[in-house]
Every structure is written in C-alpha cells, then in structure tokens.
Amino acid sequence: MPRFDSPRLLADIGGTYARFALETAPGEFTQLASLRCADHADFHAAVRAYLESLNWQDGGPQQIAHAAVAIANPVEGDQVRMTNYHWQFSIDEMRQRLGLDTLVVVNDFTALAMALPRLAEADVRQVGGGQARRPSVIGLLGAGTGLGVSGLIPAGEGWIALGTEGGHVNFGPRDEREMDILKFAWKSLDHVSYERLISGPGLELIHRALADRNKVDAPPLQAPAITQRALEDGNALCLETLEVFCGLLGTAAANLAVTLGSLGGIYIGGGIVPRLGEYFDRSPFRARFEDKGRFHDYVSAIPTFVITAEQATFKGASAILENQLRTLQASPGSAILGQIRRARSELSPAELRVADLVLAQPRSVLNDPIAEIARAAGVSQPTVIRFCRSLGCEGLSDFKLRLASGLTGTVPVTHTQVNTNDSMLELGAKVLGNTASAILQVRSHLNRDTIDRAIEMLLAAHRIEFFALGHYGVVAQDAQFKFLRFGMPCGAYTDPRLQALAADVLREGDVAVVISSGGRLPELLSVVEKAQERGAKVVAITASQSPLAKKADVTLIVDHVEDIATHLPMVSRILHLLVIDILAVGVAMRRSPDSIAALSGGPDDDEAKAPRGTGSNAAPGVSTASPLARLTSHSR
C-alpha cells in the first residue's frame, strides 16, 4: 500500500472527547489518542497536546501538511463555534497556527456518512430484517453528546453527503409514558427536540422523568452509570430508561427513512448504541422502526445497521480530505495557493507583499475589495492587479474565483446522468437535482465586486441593450421585460443582423449586456467591439476564460457546459436567467420600493410606473448597500 509523503492529521471532536490519529497510508491509522476537551483551553491547545505526545519513529518528528477535522457542529464559512461545548476558532487562522497547507473542517456526521461506502461487512451489525438496495439513498443517525443526523445520496460513481441538523426536529410522543416525559421536559425546556432525549444528556433526562412518573426516589445518574446499572445490575428504572431510549431511536430512524427514502439502509453510529451490545438487538428499536402504520411494509424492507467500526469517522474524514487534495491536484485553477508559493522568487518586492498577504489571510482577501487588499499589503491598487496577472489571471475577479475554489472544504457537487430506463419520477428527480447542483456551483463563484459594478452600470445607463443568440434569446427577452417594468429604456436583440445595426447606434452612457454560454460566437464578439468603439460599456454573462469574458468591461461568470450539438441547453439557460434576476433585484433595491413591486407582479403593477433614474437619484430612504449582501441576507 503506497504511503503518503507526510502523515495526515485526523481529528474527531465531540462535546466531551477529542480523538486524534495520524493516517500514514490510505486507511492506515496510527498514534490514536483520546483527550478530554475539559482538560484543554481550546481546540488549538488540544491539537498541540496531541502532537507533542506523539512517539515518532524513523528519524524524529515529521512535518504534517494536511489535516481533516470532523466536529460535532454545523460548519458554515470560516468561523466554527461548537454547539455542545465552548470551543470556537477560525479555520484559516487555525491552519496558519498549526503550519498546515490544508485544513478541512466538516460536520462529524458528514464525515461518518462519507465513511459508509468504505465500511466492510465486519464493520457493521444488522438489527432486524430488510435488504439494502444499491445504489440508493442511505440514512445515518447516532446518539452521543447530541443526536447527529445525515445521509448519503448516490451521484454517478460517488456520493453526496448531507450536512443536516435533523436531531433538532420536534419530539413527538408515541404513548402516554412518552407524553409524561415530554411534560416533564417542558418544565425546564422551551423546545424539546429528539436530541434532548436521544443523547447522553437525554438518557439522564428520561431517567429523571421516569423516576418522577413512577414516584421513585432515585438519585440523579450520568448516562454511563444508567447504562451500567441497567445491563450489569438489572436496575428496573435504568432498564426502563434504556427501553424508552431505544424505542425513541427507532421512531427517529423510521422518520429519517421515510423522509430520505433510505432504501439503502439506516445506519446507527454515535457513542451510546454500540456500547449497548446485544441488548440493543432485542430492545424495542426495530419494532418501533417498523411501527409506521400504512408504511409498515415500506420500512420493514429497509435494513438497519449498527456501526461497530471504531475508526469509522476517521475513515470518512480521510475520504473527504483525499477528495479535496485530489481536486486541488487535478485542477490548476484551484491550486492557486501552491502556485503563489512557487512563484515567490519571480515576483517584484511589491508583488511579494501581496503574495504574503494572500498566503497569510486568503479568506480575508477573498472577501475584501481591492482598496482594502492594497492597504493591508502596503501597495498600490495597480500592484494588486499586476500580481493577479502574474499568476495568469485576467484580474482580481478572476483571481478570487480561483482562490475560492482552492479554499472550499466541501464534498464536490456532481452531475447525475439521465438514463433511458429511468421512470418519470426518477427523470424529474435527476433533472431537478442536476439543476440544483449547478445553481450551487454558480453561487460559489458569485463575486460581490463584479455584481456591484454591473448594477452600477445599469443604474447609470441612458439605455440598456440585451444581446443573445439561439437558445439564449429567451434570456435576453426576459431581461428586456423585467427592465421595461422598471421604466428603464431597453431592448433585446436575438437576430445577428439586428444586433449589428443596434450596436452601430450605441453611444457613450449606454450599456450592452451580452449573454452567451460559451462566449465565442463571432457575431456577439463583434457587438462588443462596436459597442466599446462607440463608448458604450459591456456587461457579459458568460463562461470564465472565454473571449467574451476577456473583452467585457464587467463579466458575470456562469460556468456550465452543455453539448448543444446533441440537445437543447437546459441547465445553463436557467443559470443565465438567474443571473438576470440577480441584476434585476439589485437594480430594484437601489431604486425604489415601486421597482420591487414591479418585479413581484403585484395587483397594481399595470398602473404603477417606476421612475427612471440612476443610483444617484434613488428614492429617499432606500439603502445603497451592496445588493449582493442584501440578497444573501434575504435568502437565509
């Protein structure tokens, strides 16, 4: 088995313990250690303590370049704040402090989900009947400090992991005993989710609730003690606690199965169930899982498995890290940080200051405007542009796109092939899924600066002309309709001869919006040249690195390739329509509430005339904050 160039650091961080390992070759984990979180001030201190405890062989300590952390917490953006513990940190700052080239941080159950395809038959134990269908959706849940919920969706030859917080759905009692437990929980909790009961703290809450219900004078016990007294001493109250716990887990698992359509099976992980051993197999879990009324036959056919492999989360984190590193190696554009390191000796002293800033604070550079980047590096704005071009980028926007692709730590979005033997339901699901995946990819490429500049150009325009050819003509016509509703002079041209004539009468102060998937059609490139010759500005909605993208004054990137020689473009056309929607909403938000009403199609649309004007004469009280920032805040 080939060994890695350097060991990879893997971590599994829960609310109580932080587990660590080194992976020296694919699936080969060494130097395993489990540290109590309470013994360390923060995440960095725990990592340093582990690294300092390592027993190195063959020549002493080795440099660790890559690491993956699975953490019991949602992971969104750079800042990580644990739900069940007080640790918090910046991913990028932590990468720098630990001296790593790559640090991938993912939800722990996302990591465990990605491990499922790698588990051998000996790594799981089936509870009850059922037969897994392959390939099909797989569900995953498990109880520990909290209740983790995830799933896997087959996509081509790989899988897409779901990062969810499904443990926080409302708890629903099944009988009078569970209703009494809910009432007891309400005495101290405003919201009772399944996680409040199906977890270590949940075992303790159930135990107290049952003692109150049974009028038993029982001392409060921690979860390990409850399990021990039930399985070893046969304590009646503790046994009833486990009985309720396993029954609730069966209901939660069945809910997940019908929600996801998990015909590939439901897997149970976490720290509690694997320790229950054979008791779990004869517990009420499977009976409650199959107790689904009209859907009894449906869930009875779905198998349930307990994950017994001790290193399952490490396997999943390793798979995600390997995926990320493979992406960086396969795509020159996404390996831009490595490119910067290699180019340091060829940069001027001023450009080198920009390079050092990017390497030290890549996420800040990704979000900051050029003026802030120049100030932080102590250089001029033209120096920032020269630095970007020295790396083969067209400018700062292109550089940021490549930088963004190198910083992502998510599982790649994939395309699912439509087959001739698909049912109509499968066909619809695949088409919608492929479209949703493409939209998410475009969203990750959105650049605040370019969207702001495009909107400012449109607001200041005397007239806006939309140009598109072939199947993308409907996008230009849709844009014309939207902007005419604002009362803004505009036109749409989809015929090459009319486009040439329209370009000849453009003048300074006009804006030409050119829409093209490939950005290579000579007719549209000619329109751009004529428009710029006459002093008009050009906004392009097209693919990155295309001739059109390079010629335009502002380019909004939409990278999605479809073979129009064999079929009509579907997904890419939707993506172009969405970019038009972003521009329209941005313009409306900068102008007046009447413009928003024109977009929404309200009952008074036909009578309301939105005033024509630019950003400088927007209605009083209308914010001129970044439209992209406003859009993202509204979408949360």
Binding residue ranges: 11-16
Strands 17-25 and 28-36: antiparallel
Distance (Å) of CA 291 to CA 40, 285, 298, 372, 551? 45, 10, 11, 60, 64
Task: Give the C-alpha separation, 178 to 521, whole Å.
Answer: 67
203's tokens: 């075992």
Give me the half-sphere count of Cα atoms (radius 13 Å) on the Cβ side of residue 551.
Answer: 26
Angle between helices 448-460 and 571-591 (to 10 degrees): 60
SS (H, E, C) 448-489: HHHHHHHHHHHHHCCCEEEEECHHHHHHHHHHHHHHHHCCCC
- In whole angstroms, what separates CA 372 from the centre of its chain? 27
Q: Which amino acid is at 285?
A: F
- In whole angstroms, what separates CA 340 from the centre of its chain? 26
Cβ-based neighbours of 618, under 8 Å, separated by 6 or more:
590, 591, 592, 624
* Planar angle of CA 553, 559, 563, nearest 5 degrees: 120
Cβ-based neighbours of 530, under 8 Å, separated by 6 or more:
500, 503, 504, 506
478's tokens: 């849709």
Q: Are 610 and 592 in contact (CB under 8 A)?
A: yes
Distance (Å) of CA 336 to CA 91, 330, 362, 375, 553? 18, 12, 11, 22, 24
- The radius of gyration of the chain's CA atoms, rounded to the nearest angstrom, is 29
- In whole angstroms, what separates CA 361 from the centre of its chain? 21
Beta bridge partners of 11: 20, 69
38's tokens: 């309470």
Rounded to 10 degrees, the C-alpha dihedral 188/193/195/201 comes to: 10
Q: Which amino acid is at 104?
A: V
Cβ-based neighbours of 21, under 8 Å, separated by 6 or more:
9, 10, 11, 29, 30, 31, 32, 33, 311, 314
* DSSP-H helix ranges across 283-377: 285-290, 296-300, 312-330, 336-343, 349-360, 362-367, 370-377
Task: Give the C-alpha separation, 144 to 364, whole Å.
Answer: 35
The binding site for ATP comprises: 11-16
- Coil, helix or strand at residue 605: coil
* Planar angle of CA 5, 6, 9, nearest 5 degrees: 140
* Planar angle of CA 237, 240, 246, nearest 5 degrees: 145
**CB-based burial of residue 63 (10 Å sphere; 0-12 exposed, 13-18 middle, 19+ buried)?**
exposed
Residue 426: Cβ within 10 Å count = 13
Q: Which amino acid is at 91?
A: I
